[in-house]
Structures are given as C-alpha cells and as structure tokens.
Amino acid sequence: MDLDTGTARTAMPEITELSSVLDGLAQNPTLPDDVALRLLPYGGGLDMALRRGVTPSREVCEAFIAAGEGADLARARHLPDAIADRLAHDPDPDVRSALAHRDRPDHGRHGLFAADPDAEVRESLAQNPLVPGELLAVLAADEDPRVRRAAARAWADPPEDALRALLTDPDPRVREAAATRRPPADMGAALLADPHTRLHAVALLDLDPQTIAALAADPDEEMRRRVARHPDLGAQARDVLARDADPMVRGAVFERADTPAGLRAEIHEGLHAGYLRAQEDLGAGDEDDFLCYVALTASLTGAYPWVVADPAPYADSPYLGVRRAAAGSAALPAEARRRMLDDEDSTVRFLAFAGTAAPDPPWPRTWNGGTSGASSPAGPPTTSGSRPGRCGGSARIRPRGCACWRWGTRSCRPNSPRGWRRTGTRASDAGSRAPRIPACRSRRSCACSATPTAMSPRRRPPRRCCRRP
C-alpha cells in the first residue's frame, strides 16, 4: 500500500528465467550497439549475428573478434566487406569454415576457400548451397574424402564422368553419397553388389524381371521394401512380396496402384490383426505385431499418387489412408467431397473441407471494429441491433478459435489477431451437420463474456460461456 496516495502498489514481476530474457534481447533486431556490447560477454553472440536485416557495426564486429567470437560473427547474414575479408584470412579454421559455409559467389572468396589448407574449410565450402558446379567439380576431386563426400551430396546434376569417378571412389562414404544420383545404366550391377550403394541405387535403376526376382528374395528386409515400391515390379514378384514375412514389405505392396482389390484386402486384414494384437501391449507384444502396427499406421499417411490423380472412385474406399488421400486431392468432384464431409474419420472430414472454395471474405486479419477507410477496410457485417465489433449473436460469423456455448445467445469480440472466419449456418437452418468449432485453447483469443476486457490467459473461462478443451 502506498502511504502517500492510499492506492495499492503494483509489484514488479520477478524474472525467474534471466537466460531467456537475455536470449530475447540478443534476437531483437532493434538492439542498440551499446546494449549489444554489454550483452556479448553473456553468450548471446550467435543470436545477435543471425538477426535478419541487421548488419553489425564495425565497433560490434571488433568486439566480437576481441572476445574470441569470430566464428559466430562469420555466420552473420550481413557483414561489412572489410570485416568479411578479415575473417576470410583469420588464423582460426573454425572462423574461415563458418564464413565459407554461407559466403556468396559475388564476394570473390570461394577460390580462396577452395585452396584453403584446412580440409574442414573446404568441406564447409562444398556444403554451401551457393557454390557453382565448376567449383564443385574441383572439390569432388579433392584429396580429402570428407570434401569429396560433401561435394557428392551437394552436386545435384554432375556430368557422367564426374559421377562415375564418385561412384567408384575408394571411400565407401563417397560412393554412398553419390549413389543418390541416377547412375549410368552400365553401372547397375556393380552398384547393386556394393553394400554401400545398393539401397540407394535400386530405386534409381531400370530393373529387368530377373533382377527383380533376385532382389525380391534378398535377405535384407530394407531391400525387399524398396523393391516392393519399384515401378518395374511385375505381377509375379508383387504376389510374392505381398506374402512376405516382413509386415513393412506387405504394407509397401498394399500402397501400390497395381495391387488387385482382393490381394489388398488380404494384406490389410493381416496387418489389422497384428495391429490389434500390438495395441493391447506395445511393450510386451511380438515384434511382427509391432511391425504390423507400424505398417498400418504408415498406410494412413501414404502418398497414394494414383488416388490423388483420380480420387472419385476411392471416396468410399474401406481403407482409411486411401480415403484421406482422396479427400486431400484437388481433383475430387464436388459430389464426392460432400459425401466425405460426413465421413466417420475426422481427418477425412478436415481434408475434404479444406479443399472447398475458401468462404472467408477479403477482410484483414486484424480488424478495428468496423471502421471504414482506405487503410482500414470495413469489418464483417453485423446483424441488426448489434454493436460494431461484435458478431451480435450471428450464427454465420464467429471469431477464429472461439467456441461459444450457444450460437445465438452470446456475442463475441475479435480479440485474437487471427481474424474472423465464416463458419457456416445452424444445423437447423441448413439441414446438415454444423461444422465443429474447436474449444478455446488459447484464453487470449476467447472473449465470449459481455465484459469489455479480454479474458486473462491464466483464468479459466466461465462455465456459461465456453466449452472446456
């Protein structure tokens, strides 16, 4: 209590996480230089260097270098040219490596980094996404295998002679990195025989039926899984893999477009039985049942490109993953989309609804309560007798995130910056199920009460107003 005024004195909030406050200061793009110099000894150098749109002053750069934080300074998005040239010749290889990883070609320092005596600097240069192909060719022939591996990973379209050299490199890590590029056809047998390249190469090669049959009987489960997804897989090998001992292999066959309906149902039945057994006790269940659980769960989020391309025949599929892929397709007809809005699965309903034409009017995300003007357009329409800035009990318009207990009895204020959203009509008016409105998980976005003050985020919403999450 203040004895002079007789009013309650507001106590300053106690700072319990000082490190978080310092981190926030270091990330502030408007941080003054004098505060930055005071903050640097407390370990916020990297956050200050990575601020967007901020070029550190020469005084701040000198403080970084004097404090031994040159590597953090070299990672800055923008640097004065004189400071960058100084860092490029720094005796510490960590500083040169950090600068080589992000330096642009127009600065003219790539050649300096490519001839650096430290392999770590050359490796960082190879990992720079801005390095041109001519320089990657030099790095791909480097004497250090780490540099060659980094160049093989970064080179998206190497010439055939350079790719052959990388695929026959004496270091297995270099060969493995280069095997992610489509190899020459005559190297297929050698790559499939190499344990370091075979798993990457099998998906990129054109395989004949004899090779497919041999790989379908491979003892490596991962190889059989990749063969099961290969576009050259024939019907005979597909039927063999559909009854493979590994559930993940069977799951890969399940997602194929050329799998017959009967075979797909047989695979799903087996996976679902193992799924149910594993669901009882995931920790003590059989390993095959656990893999059935994983395979069936993975099938729910499969790509199914053949369903996305022509979703209409699969809108009523008995398989949940297929229906989800159909619901998310832009080519789904309107009639099928309406049916999928009543699907038993909430994800299918959400994907089907997300593909409808956007009903939101072109109002800004932040609204000032209906004031018209060039810089502040008019807000959403209100019902007669309602005040501007409130939905006025309208059943068609609700603030995003609001979950009024009754649609027509309470008014909602748009306190959330997320803006307004048209949610649909009453079920009694439209003759169909009304869309589900999420409960107010963010107390800041909910202000369903009639009080003019937004609800505190620490207080529970009144029972009369909002559904509890």
CA–CA dist 293, 330 (Å, integer): 30
Q: Where are the alpha helices (DSSP H) in 281-333?
A: 287-299, 305-309, 320-327
In the prediction, which pLDDT does 122 show? 96
- Each residue's pLDDT tens digit, 248-289: 999 999 999 999 999 999 999 999 999 998 888 766 668 889
Question: In the chain, what is the straight-line distance between the N-terminal and C-terminal CA atoms, in Å?
Answer: 38
422 bridge partner residues: 397
CA–CA dist 402, 444 (Å, integer): 10
CA–CA dist 386, 174 (Å, integer): 70
For residue 420, pLDDT over 90 is answered with no
3-state secondary structure of 421: strand
- Rounded to 5°, angle at Cα 375 from 372 and 379: 40
Both structure tokens of 48: 């200050």
Q: Residue 431 — left, alpha, or beta (φ > 0 → left; ψ -120 to 50 → alpha)?
A: left
**Global pTM value:** 0.67
- Average confidence score pLDDT of the chain: 78
For residue 454, pLDDT over 70 is answered with no
- Each residue's pLDDT tens digit, 122-138: 999 999 999 999 999 99
- What is the residue extent of each domain of the chain? 19-165, 209-299, 305-354, 387-469
Contact 161, 167 (CB under 8 A): no
